[in-house]
Amino acid sequence: MKTRKLVSSLKYALLPAALFGAFGSALAQAPAASPTLTADEKAQAKKIYFERCAGCHGVLRKGATGKNLEPHWSKKLPDGSTQEGGTLKLGQNRLEKIIAYGTEGGMVNFDDILSKQELELMAKYIMNTPDVPPEYSFKDTMDSWKVIVPVKDRPTKQMNKYNLKNMFSVTLRDTGEVALIDGDTKDIRSIVKTGYAVHISRLSKSGRYVYVIGRDGRLSLIDLWMEKPAVVAELKIGFDARSVDTSKFKGFEDKYAIAGSYWPPQYVIMDGDTLKPLKVVSTRGMTVDGEYHPEPRVASIVSSEIKPEWVVNIKETGQILLVDYSDIKNLKTTTIESAKFLHDGGWDASKRYFLVAANASNKVAVVDTKLGKLAALIDTKKLPHPGRGANFVHPQFGPVWATGHLGADVVTLISTASDNPKFAKYKSHNWKVVQEMKHVPGNLFVKTHPKSKHFWADAPQNPEKVLAESVVVWDMADLSKPKKVINVAKDSGLPETKATRRAVHPEYSADGKEVWISLWGGKTDQSAIVVYDDATLAVKKVITDPKMITPTGKFNVYNTQHDIY
């Protein structure tokens, strides 16, 4: 029986066609044995690759979360053989099967996304040497900058009557939009045009502005104080991006913003209220193994509240940067060695320590932002994927931070007792894995809330349809086994389909009484957000507006503003 994997489009990036056209890319010469593609075929393959593959395998195909896809291992030898010095040469047929059906190592399936012709095309494309995209300069960044509503013309107070603390910024992935949904009434208050496949929404320290970054590098600034919240400024920071945050240290509230790019590998510092670019900084350099890497992508960024610093995680190099924004002209950066390849992460409950997954190394790195150094490097099961993680007080081990896994059937709990005298009796467990809660592979996000007695985890990348459409809930009083497995697709009341509607990204309301789950179908399928009562685990509301297409990440304003997870 063929192995089937769910497509996780949360991990893939879209680059515009102009990336390889008008900007004049340098086309590398492929070896003679590479399959020939017409200009139209190459253009089509490039688009598919950047929509579906680049996020994991890299623009240059050198690999990260996904395997290296350079042609030196992918194509057969001229004589038709498939081995050279112990290196596997896959060839056309084998590549098609891998792309179509995935692998047990974490490669997802595309047979329900791509046609047979497209599968054949992508196998041929991968056996050709990748093109090198153009750079994106400070001038390019500045030329893209748009202020739609000047600061002087914006409200001086909140002009609507919405409870902004309980507003949700919801990614509508495939339409390139964000829906702002009222958490009290469950009504959509505004749908704003943003970049393609928004990865995250982040809040300014004041809670007034929402910053959303599309995978096409488009950064949008949304003003929640307007009568109908709308985009007031835009900036394109590159061709492919994932991360954004703001300045939160006292005296710098809302002053600056920072956004990280996948291609080119760099980050941009800008004014917080207008997005005017101030500085572009390259992240190219040496890996923790001492080798130069041409594509070290900015994976995630968080903002410290104990120093005027951002924690900037560089995926391919395994380097964590502490960027001091107190003097932008004379930028000071502390470089901390951890492990490859850095991905997502979040704060512990004290907001002093930042924990980030080095998922290809199966480790979690811990940064002490007060001392500015690595506190621990913790071994975990395969492919940790925390999102921001989840913090709670364990009945046996005290304060812990949790991460799920793409490639393992557990949720890992790590002790974060640190030096807090309140938890002195748990200090012997500090920075150790204290428990592995039984789950299923394919988890993307875990979540709890300080006022909740429950812990939630999804599994949208599990190959079993029923598991991908479900979430698992544990009772904090007994974490030895799940309290309930909830079939979100069934609870939605939507007609059953052969296609998988993935249950993804649990998010709490501001008061911790509700949990919102996205039910993510295809672009032409009816999607939904299913809202649960956290105390009873019963369905409270199913949000199914025709305009709400492919909802994925949801970010409650108050919880995101205060890093509550």
- Kindly report, residue by residue over 214-264, the tens digit of the pLDDT: 999 999 999 999 999 999 999 999 999 999 999 999 999 999 999 999 999
One of 56, 127, 167, 437 is an active-site residue; which one? 56
Dist. CA 62–CA 487, nearest whole Å: 38
Concatenated DSSP letters of 338-389: --SPEEEEEE-TTSSEEEEEEGGGTEEEEEETTTTEEEEEEE-SSSEEEEEE
Dist. CA 250–CA 273, nearest whole Å: 17
Structure tokens at 329: 């002209």
Tell me phi and psi for residue 478, to 5 degrees: -145, 95
Q: Does the annotation mark 293 as catalytic?
A: no
Dist. CA 258–CA 270, nearest whole Å: 6
One of 107, 159, 226, 286 is an active-site residue; which one? 107
One of 343, 394, 454, 505 is an active-site residue; which one? 343
Cβ neighbours of residue 383 under 8 Å, at least 6 residues apart? 65, 106, 359, 360, 362, 405, 406, 407, 408
Domain architecture of the chain: domains with CATH: 9-126 (1.10.760.10)
Dist. CA 150–CA 171, nearest whole Å: 25
Q: Does the annotation mark 385 as catalytic?
A: yes
Residue-wise pLDDT tens digits, 353-412: 999 999 989 999 999 999 999 999 999 999 999 999 999 999 999 999 999 999 999 999
| DSSP 8-class letter at 26 | B
Dist. CA 95–CA 416, nearest whole Å: 43
Q: Does the annotation mark 56 as catalytic?
A: yes
Dist. CA 72–CA 338, nearest whole Å: 29
What is the predicted pLDDT for the residue at 416?
98
Q: What b-and-e string marks burial along 170-192, b requiring 16 or more CB atoms within 10 Å of the CB?
A: bbbbbbbbbbbbbbeebebbbbb
Contact 241, 213 (CB under 8 A): yes
Sign, CA dihedral 378-380-383-387, equals negative
Query: Is-above-0.95 flag for pTM?
Result: no
Cis upstream peptide for 341 (omega within 30°): yes
What is the predicted pLDDT for the residue at 415?
98
Contact 223, 209 (CB under 8 A): yes
Identify the bridge partners of residue 132 per DSSP, sorted by sequence position. 26
Place of tokens 């497995």: 485
Dist. CA 483–CA 528, nearest whole Å: 24
Contact 201, 212 (CB under 8 A): yes
Contact 473, 449 (CB under 8 A): no
* Closest residue by Cα to residue 106 from 385, 502, 295, 319: 385
R_g over Cα of the chain = 23
Tell me phi and psi for residue 507, to 5 degrees: -145, 130
Dist. CA 68–CA 524, nearest whole Å: 33
One of 199, 293, 385, 449 is an active-site residue; which one? 385
Cis upstream peptide for 31 (omega within 30°): no
Other Cβ atoms less than 10 A from the Cβ of 332: the count is 11
Residues of the chain with pLDDT under 70: 1-33, 73-89, 103-109, 112
What is the predicted pLDDT for the residue at 17?
38
